[in-house]
């Protein structure tokens, strides 16, 4: 087996172990738990919203705040993780840059807070 | 007088603009003050014009005088060059004469809706535009003034015009703008293709002096033809020449009286002036190639205009169509490319300005009295307003080219010139044109006498008998008309001063002055002439 | 952590040099926006109403003033005394400071000042007052500066997005008007699509040339002969689509009429001036400056775009009845003229585009100022009959609008005349006589549109307004001070540079872009 393929062997073993573990735990719990089937339990369940009515439904407009906050901090994380791993290499310049970046994001959050969008009314 | 007076032309040109600003500053209620301010402004400009006429050196009329040359937009080498020579002088005089007369006329009878402030300032702005076009010696300056003229006239028709004023004013504006759009491209092409260094200017130049002196000799023949075509459309729309003339009857019919007068007397001349001042001197070779075609359109215009006249029922529209025919004579004279023909054309421009301007004045006064210009309803002017009837008769005679009146000296020499066009042009063709044009004079007599018969002769129609509104010529009309009538007669009896003023400048405009002993290519036979232009180009290329 | 930073790292990533002076205008403008947001967040209840517009105007002026020393520096040639003179680049050659970018910086600063003055009254009238408009406008203008200065395709994209996203929100700002919402949504969806296309274009160009840096791309293109340039040409095409959308070139113009009609009028003024200018800045930087050696490939495409834009813009405008829509189509036909200048692909052509953009920016802001004032509260009465007789009811507005319309029609003694003239002369210089003729004929058609509006405001209106209403209108409705300043400035600019265009032309000529390394 070539060196190249051998390195993938690790991945394969890792994947197999994972599948095995998940299978083992799910199987174990199936063995030990009581089984009382109900129609309710087989419904699709999504973020606390009942799947009632047609597929075209309107969700509460207030969720947009979550969406915005999620986008904000999600993007932040995407930038911060790689930055953190290479902080030494960037030096002070990188530190200041990231501080500015976080400051601007925080300013957005601050503005939203002052604007009153964070209150759930 | 030997003092430096190159400011004269600028002051004369911009005085009306200042006057317009003053008029606009006067409150609307002060109507009399507004009128007097406008009149005085135009008289000041006219006074400067009189000074110009006396001070002008007629022995040297071929050269530009009062030249001023200042920086304007140096990045494109467009300069504020102005000057006046024997061709421009009569045009300037005509403008300076007609505008005060128009103001006097409006002071006596104001067109509806009133608003003297707006109308008079528009007339004054228009005067600046017209004078500027005639003094400009730089293509961009020329173009700017040429376009400036458009707007006041547009508003004049659109606000004070007849029932169909919207349509007429838009048509006027868009037609002219269409022409000038192509013209501008031609100017630019010339700017980039000509080489001003031949005549000691910068390589790319808009200077009309440099370009007429021969900076253009190096341009390839095909390019010259195209450039000329663009200018042809631009000037031809303004003249207007036959296929581009349809805006004219509408504009004239709808325009208020003074608008029609200015349009006929001066604005149409901007087109023919452009041919004489720009198109032909700068591109003689292309002019020679296009001349038979221009001549053809000119005679078509003569016949078409005349036939158009015979089909009209509206007096003003008839006069408008007669303009198409008369400008056809002017263009025929120009297309011969001889000094004789072009002198006739300049004379024809002045004569047409005086006579047709006068006819429109009368038409306006008739309209004020009868509230119609429908020739079927008019009649008996000689009975109800005898003096006005006689004036109309006089102008009609002048217009049809009666010897002894100004119109004759525009038409007759133009026809004569086409018997003997420049040698480079096909002689037989032009003789054919001559015959047709001569027929046109007969038709002109036909329609003008017909108009006279319908309006002046006979007895007044019942609806107008004893109408107190129908009065004879009023004082303000006398003041406005007398100078025109006197000039029509004076120039008719003694045309020499005008011919001698224009002659030198016309001769010079037909020469290529690039090198000392340049052969006169226009006066060689067709083949030799074209070869001569080619030689010239080669010589230039060898030298450059 | 700090002692980690203190040690010299073994594999330090080189920190780019920052020429702060070159970034100054950008920092003032974007910093000003962020600061304004901070101030209003902190002290929302203590800030008087007049503060935000005045603040924005001051920031705009400061941006312009900060650009002046830069202008003097970059348009000068290096000398013994000042070896630093001339164009330079900073941030690892990704941000170029040259006459071109500084020219646009000053233009954007002027636009910010004018639109802020105009918006002050408008926002109050429409009861949508707040700092958001001003913040977004300043941010958007900073995006424009970034676009005009970008020396790297990624930076260009960054600028484009900063510019656009703010404008999407501004278009939808009038939250009670359904048309405004529609405009915002339409602009956003199509704009996002065009951004994506643009980004794809960057990717393809990168694939073909191996760099996103404009300097390197240019070096590559002039030194390497590509055997197969399909990838590169596809990149050109996609980039052109991206720019074409922003400048509203046909066939990427379909959003323009709806967005112009729906968006708040001052925002439309901003879009027509700043967004168009920024997009043309980017287009010139990328196509003329960077892809200059491939001009025979892209020139014909721009030639075609220009003709289509000119014709569609001027002909379709004829049948419109809504003034804002008319001006939208007129802005399309102006884009056509600007493309004529771009197509020339000469330094002179670039200068003509700059002159045109400056002249047009002032005219169009002026026009929309008049429209804002004339249409009254609600922003909905924008049809031609609604403004009929404007010149009689409110003569000041009528005269100002007439000046702007004449300017846009290219009548002499307005800056619009020289703008058109200058563009046509560039086309003639590049031997594109066909294009020059089409452009001039389109001008005639477009003139009809402007004449129609002029006729409506001067001649119509008798039947619409009854005498009492007319008298009331004549007596009242003063022009707010902010808008009055805008009108004076824009009319003045249009007329002064119409009589004496020299200084502006000189500036536009000095502002030729240069790709500097730094």
Q: Is residue C6 part of a domain?
A: no
Q: DSSP labels for B120-158? A: HHHHHHHHHHHHHHHHB-BHHHHHHHHHHTHHHHHHHHH
Determine contact, residues B172/B251, Cβ cutoff 8 Å.
yes
- Phi, psi of C95, deg, nearest 5: -130, 110
Backbone torsion region of residue B355, taken as left when φ is above 0, otherwise alpha when ψ lies between -120 and 50, otherwise beta:
alpha
The minimal CB distance from A111 to the residues C1, C4, C37 is found for C37
List residues bridging with B79 in a β-sheet.
B71
Q: What is the dihedral of CA B384, B388, B389, B391, to 10 degrees?
A: 170
Determine contact, residues C216/C246, Cβ cutoff 8 Å.
no
Determine contact, residues B514/B213, Cβ cutoff 8 Å.
yes
Q: Is residue B263 part of a domain?
A: yes
Q: Is residue B193 part of a domain?
A: yes
Euclidean distance between CA atoms C287 and C236, whole angstroms: 8
**Cβ of C428 and B143 within 8 Å?**
no
- Name every residue whose Cβ is closer than 8 Å to that of residue B412 and which is 6 or more positions away in sequence: B344, B401, B403
**Cβ of B174 and C448 within 8 Å?**
yes
pLDDT in tens, chain B (544 residues): 344 567 888 999 999 999 999 998 888 888 889 999 999 999 999 999 999 999 888 888 888 888 888 888 888 888 899 999 899 999 999 999 999 999 999 888 888 777 888 899 999 999 999 999 999 999 999 999 998 898 899 999 988 888 888 899 999 999 998 998 999 999 999 998 888 887 778 888 899 988 888 888 888 889 999 999 999 999 999 988 988 989 999 999 999 999 999 999 999 999 999 999 999 999 988 999 999 999 999 999 999 999 999 999 999 999 999 999 999 999 999 999 998 999 999 999 999 999 999 999 999 999 888 888 888 888 888 888 889 999 999 999 999 888 989 999 989 999 999 998 988 889 899 999 999 999 999 999 999 999 999 888 888 888 887 778 888 888 899 999 999 999 999 999 999 999 999 988 888 888 776 665 667 788 888 888 888 888 888 877 776 5
Question: Nearest 5°: CA angle at B227, between B223 and B232?
Answer: 145
Query: What domain range is C305 assigned to?
Result: 17-510
At C96 the three-state DSSP class reads strand
- Name every residue whose Cβ is closer than 8 Å to that of residue B434 and which is 6 or more positions away in sequence: B415, B416, B418, B419
Q: Is residue B464 part of a domain?
A: yes
- Residues belonging to chain C with any Cβ–Cβ distance to chain A shorter than 8 Å: 1, 4-5, 7, 9, 11-13, 15, 34, 37-38, 40-42, 44
The minimal CB distance from B181 to the residues C433, C443, C500 is found for C443
Q: For position C176, what pLDDT does the model report?
A: 86
Q: Is residue B144 part of a domain?
A: yes
- From the number of C-beta atoms within 10 Å of its C-beta (0-12, 13-18, 19+), residue B440 rates as buried
Alpha helices in C128-177 (DSSP H): 132-149, 153-171
List residues bridging with B65 in a β-sheet.
B84
Put simply, whether C200 touches B (Cβ < 8 Å) is no
Token readout for B368 is: 């004020």
Of C330, C329, C357, the closest CA to residue C341 belongs to C357
The minimal CB distance from A107 to the residues C9, C11, C37 is found for C37
**Cβ of C424 and B188 within 8 Å?**
yes
Find the distance separating the first CA and the last CA of chain B, reported in whole Å. Answer: 41
**Cβ of B76 and C505 within 8 Å?**
yes
Structure-token match 């000296």, residue found:
B409
Query: What domain range is B192 assigned to?
Result: 8-543
State the nearest Cα–Cα gap between C441 and chain B, in angstroms. Answer: 6
Q: Is residue C367 part of a domain?
A: yes
Chains that touch B (3 or more CB pairs under 8 A): C
Token readout for B295 is: 């001549």
β pairing state of B78-84 and B65-73: antiparallel
- Phi, psi of B138, deg, nearest 5: -135, 135
Token readout for C323 is: 């003034």
Put simply, whether C501 touches B (Cβ < 8 Å) is yes
pLDDT, greater one: A35 or C105: C105
State the nearest Cα–Cα gap between C506 and chain B, in angstroms. Answer: 7
Q: Is residue B2 part of a domain?
A: no
Q: What is the DSSP letter of C97?
A: E
State the nearest Cα–Cα gap between C266 and chain A, in angstroms. Answer: 24
Check the CA dihedral C372-C390-C466-C381 and report its sign.
negative
For residue C3, the chain A residue with the least C-alpha distance is: A88
pLDDT of C190 above 70: yes
Give buried/exposed letters for B323-346 (b at 16+ CB in 10 A, else e): bbbbbbbbbbbbbbbbbbbbbbbb
Structure-token match 């394969």, residue found:
A12
Find the distance separating the first CA and the last CA of chain C, reported in whole Å. Answer: 32
* Domains: count for chain C: 1
- From the number of C-beta atoms within 10 Å of its C-beta (0-12, 13-18, 19+), residue B496 rates as exposed
Domains by residue range for chain A, with CATH: 59-121 (1.20.58.1610)
Q: Which residues in chain A are contacts of C37 at CB distance < 8 A?
A: 107, 111
Of B73, B46, B159, the closest CA to residue B113 belongs to B159
Q: Is residue C222 part of a domain?
A: yes
Q: For position B3, what pLDDT does the model report?
A: 46
Of C319, C315, C360, C320, the closest CA to residue C337 belongs to C360
State the nearest Cα–Cα gap between A78 and chain C, in angstroms. Answer: 17
Backbone torsion region of residue C7, taken as left when φ is above 0, otherwise alpha when ψ lies between -120 and 50, otherwise beta:
beta
* Domains: count for chain B: 1
Q: How confident is the model over C83-121, as pLDDT tens digits?
A: 778 888 888 889 999 999 999 999 999 999 999 999 988
The minimal CB distance from A111 to the residues C5, C12, C41 is found for C41
- Phi, psi of B280, deg, nearest 5: -75, -50
Number of H helices, E strands in chain A: 3, 0
Q: Which residues in chain A are contacts of C9 at CB distance < 8 A?
A: 88-89, 91
Our measurement of the distance from residue C297's CA atom to the centroid of its chain's CA atoms, rounded to an integer in Å, reads 26
């Amino acid at each position: 087996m070539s060196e190249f393929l051998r390195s993938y062997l690790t991945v394969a073993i890792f994947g197999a172990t994972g599948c095995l573990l998940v299978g083992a735990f799910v199987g174990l719990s199936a063995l030990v738990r009581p089984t009382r089937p109900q129609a309710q339990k087989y419904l699709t369940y999504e973020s606390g919203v009942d799947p009632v009515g047609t597929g075209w439904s309107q969700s509460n407009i207030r969720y947009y705040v979550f969406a915005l906050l999620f986008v904000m901090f999600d993007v932040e994380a995407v930038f911060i993780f790689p930055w953190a791993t290479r902080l030494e290499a960037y030096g002070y310049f990188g530190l200041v840059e990231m501080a500015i970046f976080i400051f601007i994001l925080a300013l957005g959050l601050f503005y939203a807070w002052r604007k009153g969008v964070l209150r759930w009314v | 007088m030997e003092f430096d007076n190159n400011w004269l032309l600028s002051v004369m040109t911009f005085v009306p603009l200042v006057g317009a600003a003053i008029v606009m500053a006067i409150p609307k209620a002060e109507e009399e003050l507004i009128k007097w301010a406008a009149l005085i402004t135009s008289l000041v400009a006219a006074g400067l014009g009189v000074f110009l006429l006396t001070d002008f050196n007629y022995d040297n009329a071929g050269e530009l005088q009062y030249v001023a040359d200042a920086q304007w937009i140096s990045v494109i080498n467009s300069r504020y060059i102005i000057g006046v020579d024997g061709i421009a002088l009569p045009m300037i005089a005509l403008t300076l004469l007609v505008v005060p007369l128009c103001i006097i006329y409006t002071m006596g009878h104001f067109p509806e809706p009133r608003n003297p402030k707006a109308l008079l300032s528009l007339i004054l702005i228009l005067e600046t535009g017209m004078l500027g076009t005639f003094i400009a010696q730089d293509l961009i300056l020329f173009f700017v003034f040429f376009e400036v003229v458009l707007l006041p006239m547009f508003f004049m028709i659109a606000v004070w015009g007849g029932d169909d004023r919207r349509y007429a004013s838009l048509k006027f504006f868009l037609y002219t703008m269409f022409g000038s759009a192509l013209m501008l491209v031609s100017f630019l092409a010339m700017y980039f293709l000509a080489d001003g260094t031949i005549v000691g200017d910068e390589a790319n130049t808009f200077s009309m002096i440099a370009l007429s002196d021969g900076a253009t000799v190096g341009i390839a023949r095909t390019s010259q033809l195209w450039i000329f075509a663009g200018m042809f459309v631009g000037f031809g729309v303004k003249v207007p020449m036959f296929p581009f003339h349809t805006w004219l009857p509408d504009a004239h019919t709808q325009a208020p009286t003074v608008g029609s007068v200015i349009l006929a007397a001066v604005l149409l001349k901007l087109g023919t002036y452009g041919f004489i001042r720009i198109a032909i001197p700068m591109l003689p070779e292309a002019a020679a190639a296009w001349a038979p075609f221009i001549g053809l359109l000119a005679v078509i215009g003569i016949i078409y205009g005349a036939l158009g006249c015979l089909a009209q029922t509206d007096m003003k529209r008839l006069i408008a169509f007669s303009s198409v025919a008369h400008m056809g004579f002017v263009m025929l004279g120009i297309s011969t490319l001889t000094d004789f023909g072009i002198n006739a054309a300049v004379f024809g421009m002045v004569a047409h300005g005086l006579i047709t301007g006068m006819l429109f004045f009368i038409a306006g006064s008739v309209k004020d009295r009868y509230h119609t210009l429908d020739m079927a309803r008019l009649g008996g002017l000689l009975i109800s307003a005898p003096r006005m009837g006689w004036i109309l008769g006089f102008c009609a005679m002048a217009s049809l080219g009666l010897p002894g009146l100004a119109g004759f000296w525009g038409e007759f020499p133009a026809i004569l010139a086409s018997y003997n066009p420049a040698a480079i042009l096909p002689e037989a063709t032009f003789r054919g044109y001559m015959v047709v044009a001569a027929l046109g004079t007969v038709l002109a007599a036909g329609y003008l006498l017909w108009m006279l018969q319908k309006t002046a002769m006979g007895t007044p129609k019942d609806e107008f008998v004893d109408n107190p509104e129908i009065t004879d010529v009023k004082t303000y009309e006398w003041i406005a008309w007398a100078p025109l009538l006197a000039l029509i007669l004076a120039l008719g009896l003694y045309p020499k001063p005008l011919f001698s003023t224009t002659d030198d400048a016309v001769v010079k405009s037909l020469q290529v002055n690039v090198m000392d002993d340049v052969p006169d290519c226009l006066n060689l036979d067709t083949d030799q002439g074209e070869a001569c232009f080619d030689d010239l180009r080669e010589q230039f290329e060898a030298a450059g | 952590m700090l002692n980690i930073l203190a040690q010299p790292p073994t594999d330090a990533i080189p920190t780019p040099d920052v020429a702060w002076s070159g970034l100054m205008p950008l920092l003032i403008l974007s910093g000003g926006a962020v600061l304004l947001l901070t101030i209003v967040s902190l002290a929302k209840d203590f800030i008087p109403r007049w503060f935000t517009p005045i603040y924005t105007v001051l920031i705009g002026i400061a941006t312009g003033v900060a650009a002046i020393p830069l202008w003097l520096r970059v348009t000068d040639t290096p000398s013994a005394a000042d070896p630093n003179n001339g164009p330079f680049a900073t941030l690892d050659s990704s941000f170029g400071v040259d006459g071109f970018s500084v020219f646009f910086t000053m233009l954007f600063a002027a636009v910010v000042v004018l639109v802020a003055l105009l918006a002050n009254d408008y926002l109050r009238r429409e009861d949508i007052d707040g700092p958001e408009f001003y913040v977004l406008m300043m941010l958007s203008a900073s995006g424009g500066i970034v676009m005009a200065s970008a020396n790297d395709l990624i930076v260009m994209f960054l600028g484009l997005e900063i510019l656009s996203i703010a404008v999407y929100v501004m278009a939808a700002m009038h939250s009670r008007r359904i048309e405004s919402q529609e405009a915002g949504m339409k602009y956003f969806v199509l704009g996002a699509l065009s951004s994506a296309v643009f980004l794809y274009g960057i990717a393809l160009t990168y694939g073909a040339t191996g760099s996103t840096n404009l300097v390197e791309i240019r070096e590559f293109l002039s030194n390497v002969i590509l055997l197969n340039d399909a990838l590169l040409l596809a990149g050109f095409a996609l980039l052109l689509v991206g720019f074409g959308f922003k400048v509203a070139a046909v066939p990427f113009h379909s959003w323009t009429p709806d967005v112009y009609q729906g968006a708040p009028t001052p925002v439309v003024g901003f879009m027509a001036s700043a967004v168009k200018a920024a997009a043309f800045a980017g287009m010139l930087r990328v196509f003329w400056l960077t892809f200059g050696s491939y001009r025979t490939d892209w020139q014909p495409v721009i030639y075609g775009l220009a003709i289509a834009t000119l014709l569609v813009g001027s002909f379709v405008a004829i049948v419109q009845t809504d003034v804002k829509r008319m001006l939208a189509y007129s802005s399309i036909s102006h884009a056509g003229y600007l493309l004529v200048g771009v197509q020339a692909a000469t330094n002179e052509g670039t200068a003509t585009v700059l002159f045109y953009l400056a002249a047009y920016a002032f005219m169009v802001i002026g026009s929309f100022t008049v429209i804002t004032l004339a249409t009254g509260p609600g922003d909905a009465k924008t049809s031609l009959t609604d403004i009929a007789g404007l010149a009689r009811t409110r003569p000041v507005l009528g005269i100002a609008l007439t000046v702007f319309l004449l300017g846009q029609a290219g009548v002499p003694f307005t800056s619009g005349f020289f703008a058109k003239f200058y563009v046509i002369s560039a086309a003639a210089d590049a031997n594109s006589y066909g294009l020059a003729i089409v452009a001039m004929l389109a001008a005639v058609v477009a003139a009809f549109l402007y004449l129609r509006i002029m006729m409506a405001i001067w001649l119509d209106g008798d039947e619409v307004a009854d005498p009492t209403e007319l008298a009331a209108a004549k007596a009242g409705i003063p022009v707010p001070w902010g808008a009055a300043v805008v009108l004076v400035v824009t009319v003045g600019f249009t007329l002064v540079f119409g009589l004496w265009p020299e200084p502006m032309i000189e500036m536009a000529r000095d502002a030729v872009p240069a790709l500097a390394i730094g």
